[in-house]
Amino acid sequence: MADSKAYVKRVLAQIEKRDPDQKQFLATVTKVLESVEPLLDQHPEYEQNKILERMVEPERVIEFRVPWTDDKGEIQINRGYRVQLNSAIGPYKGGLRFHPSVNLDILKFLAFEQVYKNALTGLPIGGAKGGSDFDPHGKSDAEVMRFCQSFMTELFRHIGPNVDVPAGDIGVGGREVGYLFGQYKRLRNSYDAGVLTGKRVDYWGSLARTEATGYGLMYFVKDMLDAKGIDLKDKVVVVSGAGNVATYAIEKAQSYGAKVVTCSDSNGYVYDPNGIDLDCVKEIKQVKRGRIKEYVETHPQAEYHEGCTGVWTVKCDVALPCATQREIDLESAKALVANGVKAVGEGANMPSTLEAIDYFQSHGVLFGPAKAANAGGVATSALEMAQNSERLQWTFEEVDGKLHGIMTNIYKQAKANAEKYADPDDLVAGANITAFQKVANVMLAHGLV
Ligand code: NDP
């Protein structure tokens, strides 16, 4: 039998030596590789073919200058990136993030996660991630447009419907995708609708894409709870974030009869003991692009608290981190467990630290890891690509039905592999093993590339 522990350790040491500053990338890779050790034990061909060494090295990293002019006529320079990590099972696919925190470490960890998330969907898409340290907050529409046009003026030569298909992520929504698509079309002089996903439905976008990540998260969480005989009805749910993922997770949770009592933005969180009024949140965040604290102006029974971590001290049955990475640390995990949380479903990417995940799992909390639980977004993006190829638009119900089927399938496969290789409730290991096996086998089939 292969010594998989030693193999994994060697690969991790090599990453640390090569890129000592890329702590989040290393943490993500560590979790994935350690959880696939039982599989590596049974498949010495992975080590013989240096599959791990190849998987942790992006196929290509593009870093570029993004010059643009603000409304005062001043020149601004941002940094743009695209990490094309793995194209074994299809064209690179993954979002673009515009946020001041963006750097290569974050994008490499997100791209790495994306490869396995995409594999879990069962659809033919590889993994990538990109973005910029540009901050869209407080910028005018015209500034955002000029930035997007400059960003695409470099990115366009590296993407295409059969090459790499970016989408939105934090700070990149329908408006930004529109500006990016417009510039791509102008530069290529070709209507390659499938080059970007997350397009508006009036120009080749998919119905239900907006809702997909949040809805998909709830389909997954419901399957996880159903398996334990826990009904979501009347369960208290704590959600962080008030963006795309959070909004539609709240909507679906409420449709199951759950009582969602919080949401947040990067300044603070709102607690409404009567249950969050989602129309109000949509009005504030989607229409007015305002701050979540405005909620209490029309809901006097609700409380607004400055700062984000306090949201995890609110007593709940189900916690759904839907804002950003590393928002639940060990301390927050302890507070949730002390308050009796039964399940955690990750809507955001890597919102729980490794220590927090270990704490949840060792305290019997059902845990739905991001790469499985939030895969509904990218799955529906792949359905958007399929519709674009067909030059057809499916109905909302058709897309939502396929999304539901994909999420249930992800849950079933992760659960089956958890039962086969790890603790039967360890969906982190189950999801990693399912996805890893698929990507590794296709890489073997393609030979040394
Ligand atoms: P949005 O930009 O629509 O919303 C992000 C939300 O999180 C906003 O409410 C934002 O507040 C808040 N937020 C941002 N940074 C912080 C922070 N440091 N602390 C607390 N809150 C913060 O993004 P999405 O909803 O699209 O994405 C959220 C997460 O889900 C990300 O991790 C993303 O990678 C992941 N994801 C998204 C998918 C999608 O389809 N959209 C698919 C899969 C994963 P503010 O308004 O103040 O910025």
Among 196, 220, 240, 324, name the best residue to mutate to test ligand 1's pocket (greatest count of ligand atoms within 8 A of Cβ): 324
Name the residue with the closest Cα to ligand 1, atom 18. Answer: 266
Residues 46 and 110 in one domain: no
DSSP 425: T
Ligand 1 atom closest to the Cα of residue 173 is 3
* Any atom of ligand 1 within 6 Å of the Cβ of 206: no
Residues 214 and 359 in one domain: yes
Domain boundary among 339, 373, 407: 373
* Any atom of ligand 1 within 6 Å of the Cβ of 91: no
Catalytic residues: 129
Residues 159 and 273 in one domain: no
Ligand 1 atom closest to the Cα of residue 349 is 32
- Evaluate whether residue 205 is within a structural domain: no
| Largest Cα–Cα separation, the chain | 66
Residues 37 and 66 in one domain: no
* Any atom of ligand 1 within 6 Å of the Cβ of 265: yes
| Spatial CB neighbours of 397, under 8 Å, sequence gap ≥ 6 | none
Residues 169 and 145 in one domain: yes
Residues 51 and 65 in one domain: no
Query: Which domain CATH number covers 91?
Result: 3.40.50.10860
292 contacts 264 by C-beta, under 8 angstroms = yes
* Any atom of ligand 1 within 6 Å of the Cβ of 349: yes
pLDDT of 36 reads 97
Q: Average pLDDT by consecutive 10-residue portion of the chain (449 residues)? A: 90 98 95 95 96 98 98 98 98 97 97 98 98 96 98 98 96 95 98 97 96 98 98 98 97 98 97 98 95 97 96 98 95 98 96 96 97 97 97 98 98 98 97 98 96
Residues 221 and 307 in one domain: yes
Structure tokens at 330: 């060990």
Domain that holds residue 93: 60-193
Structure tokens at 133: 């340290």
Structure tokens at 66: 């993004």
* Any atom of ligand 1 within 6 Å of the Cβ of 345: no
Using a CB cutoff of 8 Å and minimum separation of 24, what contacts does 18-26 make?
19/105, 21/105, 22/104, 22/105, 22/108, 22/109, 23/105, 24/105, 24/106, 24/109, 24/325, 24/326, 24/350, 25/105, 25/108, 25/109, 25/112
Cα within 13 Å of Cα(107), Cβ side:
29
Reference 62, options 115, 131, 109; nearest CA is: 131
Counted domains in the chain: 3
CA separation for the pair 302, 371 (Å, rounded): 33
pLDDT of 205 reads 97
Reference 231, options 365, 343, 97; nearest CA is: 343
Name the residue with the closest Cα to ligand 1, atom 22. Answer: 266
Residues 32 and 123 in one domain: no
Domain boundary among 145, 163, 193: 193
Distances (CA, A) of 32 to 15, 40, 253, 343, 369: 14, 12, 29, 21, 11
CA separation for the pair 431, 284 (Å, rounded): 36
Residues 147 and 223 in one domain: no
Query: Which domain CATH number covers 215?
Result: 3.40.50.720
- Evaluate whether residue 406 is within a structural domain: no
Angle (deg, nearest 10), helices 330-338 and 354-362: 20
- Evaluate whether residue 434 is within a structural domain: no
Beta-strand runs (E) in 147-258 = 164-167, 236-240
- Evaluate whether residue 255 is within a structural domain: yes
Residues 161 and 49 in one domain: no
- Evaluate whether residue 99 is within a structural domain: yes
Residues 42 and 73 in one domain: no
pLDDT of 325 reads 86
- Evaluate whether residue 259 is within a structural domain: yes
Domain boundary among 325, 355, 373: 373
Helix (H) / strand (E) containing 421: helix 396-421
* Any atom of ligand 1 within 6 Å of the Cβ of 374: yes
Residues 261 and 368 in one domain: yes
Helix (H) / strand (E) containing 130: strand 127-132
Ligand 1 centroid vs 100 CA: distance in angstroms?
13
